[in-house]
Amino acid sequence: MDASTSSSKEGTPEIVFFDIETNVPNRAGQRFWVLEFGAIVVCPQKLVELESYSTLIRPGDLSAVALRSGRSDGITRETVANAPLFKEVSDKIFSILNGRVWAGHNIRRFDCIRIKEAFAEIGRPAPTPVGIIDSLGVLTDKFGRRAGNMKMATLASYFKLGQQKHRSLEDVRMNLEVLKNCATVLFLEASLPSLLNGNCRGSSTITTRSRSNGKSLCREETSRKSPPTASIGYQRAVPYASRGSLEKMTEKVKNLLCRAQGNQPLNTILKHSHSLLR
């Protein structure tokens, strides 16, 4: 906890990434129950994990939890049957969240509301953040929808970070890794916007077409420059193609250099060069 103390002395609040898992209401009037809480406390300067905490939570109405989960590592009624009630872990959850920057994916519209409801139910004031970073809003605004629907599972798949577990502690760690990857991409794009803001391309090979004897000919050239605007009918002229073969051109150059050899001034070379350009 030395790093945590140091961060507090510097006056910079720590960031707590947190996530809750709940039941899925399947009938009118059924409420949300918090079934799991997980969090990591992070130093904002170095993104070092200072502390972590997770716990399963038994709901007041156990029948609200499904007997089987539709998710690969989801929570079932049996999973939470012997877990502590929310009031039994509320002190720890309060100490983790209160006075820190809250961070998570879609926490403004879901997790923050569920936390406040859970504390209100046991008659305790809810913890208060000093700021909120909702990665759903931040990434939708800054990263765009290049990764798809901006769900955590989709973002994790985009960066090949594995499958989302739908367990609180694993999900918040994945959330941090997604943010790191997105921030890196945005930083690189901001450094070279004219080069990196486009779509990824496998190679810089440019295929141009020309017509000869009614047949379509394709040729490829690797270049950093774009082809001319009228690229479809474009065929780069081959210098001296009408003057004969490459061997004849080489002989002309050799003869020119022989006539201009020695210490003769440059105008002597220019004098004989006109024969190459006719």
At the fourth CATH level, the homologous superfamily of domain 15-191 is Ribonuclease H-like superfamily/Ribonuclease H (3.30.420.10)
Query: Can you say how many angstroms the Cα of residue 93 is from the centroid of all Cα atoms in its chain?
Result: 30
Helical pair 86-97 and 112-121, crossing angle rounded to 10 deg:
130
Is residue 276 over pLDDT 50? no
From 137, 134, 118, select the one nearest 126 (Cα to Cα). 118
Residue with the larger pLDDT of the pair 270 and 141: 141
pLDDT in tens, 171-205: 999 999 999 999 999 999 999 887 777 655 443 33
Is residue 150 over pLDDT 80? yes
**Report field, pTM of the whole predicted structure over 0.75:** no
Residue with the larger pLDDT of the pair 238 and 89: 89
From 180, 14, 220, select the one nearest 97 (Cα to Cα). 14
List the catalytic residues.
166
